[in-house]
Chains A and B, each alone.
Chain A
């Protein structure tokens, strides 16, 4: 049976994934919008940067974020100057790292959804007296809803499944940075296979249900997630 430390890890994981998903929707939406609509040459560069976490080993991302957050890194100096100390091995640091790590899983579905809308509905809205904000809320968001749902689900699920970045940035500290994936690792290391099964099996079922739900709701997303 799972014990208190397992439940603490589950709770922390859900908290982390929820926070990261919300942050990604907040920052990922304007980024995806820009990527979908810009004609700037910077588009390819930014697009490639956003997609990096898809191909890099999480330890690479974790390593550089750790350096950046350390006392001599740019982020570390900023937080130090603000009197916040360093972010490495804190929950906040974990949130920031996870935002980078799950970025493409939210930005890419959103970008695809925005591109699919095309120019015309926006022009129609403008000729019907809707300003840009108004158009965004009354036309873009409803038409891009599949993109928002897909992005949110994938971002959430991917954050729950991360391991390498957490280990590098979080350091596996109980109640602060110990999430389900690292907890499973600890159980296995300690030969506690029964407890590892509870969590690992739970993750397996959870992930399957999430993807099944997504593909049932929006069958067209199957292509987009088979990378």
Chain B
């Protein structure tokens, strides 16, 4: 598909005194790109500039060779002509229309030949097929957001922009929607730019990560490598940690599954998936402790031989983050500065990493 070779470019500079944004982004035109940052980092503004909802003087925005904004040429393509989809933080269904009419709103504005999805298929994908005749105000928050996502997809966007679609929901609703987002990721060949301030959400959904802080890009790159960067890790605070793509290797008789990655095997509680399936694992730095010798008499199942690659500040006083390599796979561990000193942990050391918890993502 042509889509896989296009890139998304966004250059913009805003200086409103207290709010400064200065970014020059080149994002992959496929998969899910996460814009991660705390509130005030400018991530939503970048998304709005991409969508054309905000017109920042001097910005340059393009999808592939199609330029959407170029103020030097006085070119600005309005939002409704960009062919994008946008999922807002709050669902924003039209209250005067039924769920079905909401879903059809964008779709019916497309020439039939350009409609990529059928209403029922998308409704089923998002589990709202029984709600079509309801009024939006009778839906739960999670249902409303799923309907809003369905509505956006049905408009057949060429680029899907999502502004913290889960942030307004409680944990239960989040867990209810996340699987649907993962299905979108798996089943639709649609580039997505996803704004979030939740590291775990990013680890679960993204392929490519951009870390923003106070209007500047601190770093960007493929998800696994970027999450494992010591210079960025402190931005994720307590959620610092790596994402490892593994392959389901075997199911053991005692209820554990073996997940293989470049550098070793992780044992996790039985995962109901076929042998050979790809499984994303998340290992938080706070769940990894270090030992100089292989611990004996420990109840921890996953103890991996590793080499210290680098040591950096932990973001919290008294703590450090240690970047390890298990084979060629990076791992982060958060330990106290005192332990680091007493154990003499330095770059190049051979250590044992004890992994207390592995979160399975998809």
Using CB atoms and an 8 Å cutoff, list the residues of chain A in contact with chain B. 120-121, 123-131, 134, 138-139, 142-143
Contact = CB atoms under 8 A, between A and B. Distances in A.
A69 B178 CA distance: 68
10 A-B pairs with least C-beta separation: A128-B106, A127-B86, A126-B79, A129-B109, A142-B96, A126-B80, A124-B92, A129-B80, A128-B155, A128-B105
Given A126-B80, A128-B151, A128-B155, A121 B92 contact: yes
29 contacts: A120-B88, A120-B90, A121-B92, A121-B94, A123-B79, A123-B86, A124-B94, A125-B80, A125-B105, A126-B53, A126-B78, A127-B51, A127-B79, A127-B80, A127-B85, A127-B106, A128-B80, A128-B105, A128-B151, A128-B152, A129-B106, A129-B109, A129-B110, A130-B80, A130-B106, A131-B78, A134-B109, A143-B94, A143-B95
Interface string B42-65: 000000000111000000000000
Contacts of A123: 53, 79, 86, 88
Contacts of A138: 105
Nearest to A139: B94
Contacts of B80: 125-131, 134
B109 A130 contact: yes
B83 interface: yes
Given A123-B53, A123-B79, A128 B92 contact: no
A202 B241 CA distance: 79
A88 to B, nearest CB: 45
A129 B155 contact: yes
A127 B109 contact: no
Interface residues of B, number: 24
B152 A127 contact: yes
Contacts of A129: 80-81, 83, 106, 109-110, 155
A128 B110 CA distance: 9
Interface in B170-207: none
B320 interface: no
Contact of B92 (A120, A134, A142): A120
Nearest to B83: A129
Contacts of A130: 80, 105-106, 109
A134 B78 CA distance: 14
Contacts of A142: 96
Given A123-B79, A127-B80, 6 more contacts: A121-B92, A128-B80, A128-B151, A129-B80, A134-B80, A138-B105
Contacts of B110: 129
A129 B151 CA distance: 12
Nearest to A118: B92
Nearest to B52: A126
Contacts of A134: 80, 109
A131 B53 CA distance: 13
A180 B241 CA distance: 80
Given A128-B151, A128-B152, A131-B80, A143 B106 contact: no
B13 to A, nearest CB: 22
A114 B96 CA distance: 15
B76 to A, nearest CB: 13
- Most-contacted residue by chain B among A120, A123, A142 (CB, 10 A): A123
Contacts of B52: 126
Nearest to B95: A143
Contacts of B152: 127-128
B84 interface: yes
A125 B94 CA distance: 9
A125 B86 CA distance: 10
A143 B155 contact: no
B162 to A, nearest CB: 11
A123 B83 CA distance: 14
Interface in B84-118: 84-86, 88, 90, 92, 94-96, 105-106, 109-110
